[in-house]
Every structure is written in structure tokens, then in C-alpha cells.
Amino acid sequence: MKRDFFLCGALGWCMEIFWTGLHSLLNGQGTMMGKTSLLMFPIYGCAAVISPLYKYIASFPVLIRGSLYAAGFFITEFFSGIILKYLGICPWDYSHTPFHFCGVIRLDYAPVWFAAGLFFEKILTKSS
């Protein structure tokens, strides 16, 4: 589980840098600058629970598994965001976007979290 935690943390960082770099490009910034925060590593590391969870839901259809992963990401993002906001160190703020909830989650990211969960599932179940 420790190895999966570090794998998920590192993959999460890479995915976030890619995602924010893509947003930079779409906003006309040719440098495609991507960024993340050290605080995100343990949050992304929490995706390591997918590996033991998969044993129980492997027979579920992809649509159900992806939806469960997306819900898990939303719950993790919400509670970690609320705690980090309370501490004054939250590295993200979605309050300026439509479909946000409390400024810490974006409901329009559901397809992204759906796909990310299935991606982590594939990585974690292959490496186990």
C-alpha cells in the first residue's frame, strides 16, 4: 500500500502539471506552464485505496466503477479542500468558476475524475 501511495502521489502531480499546462495553452499562453503544490502529493496519494477497493468492485460495469471513483475523488477533494481552506493554505480556488461547490470542487470535472479513477485502477491493478 505504501508503494501505491507514492505511485499515486507522483502520478497525480504529473497529471495536474499536464492539466494546468493544457489550460495555459488554451488560455493563449504558449509557454504551457503547468503547476502543482507539494500539498497535493498526499491528496493524490489517497487514490491508493483504489487497489484494495478494486477487489470488491472488479465485476461492476465500467460506468459504475468510474462513477464510484469520481465520487471518491470529489469527497477527498472536498474535505481536503475545506481543511486546507480553514488553515489558509488551499492551493486551489474554484469559486470564480461555474458549477463549483464551496469553491473547493468543480462538478464539471466529474468526467475528468471518472477517467482518472479508471486510469489509476489500470495502473494499480497491473502493478499489484
What one-letter code names the amino acid at 57?
I
pLDDT tens figures, 56-89: 999 999 999 999 999 999 999 999 999 999 999 9
Summarize the chain as % helix, strand, coil (round to 5).
70, 5, 25
Neighbours of 36 (CB within 10 A): 19
pTM for the predicted model, two decimal places: 0.88
pLDDT tens figures, 105-118: 999 999 999 999 99
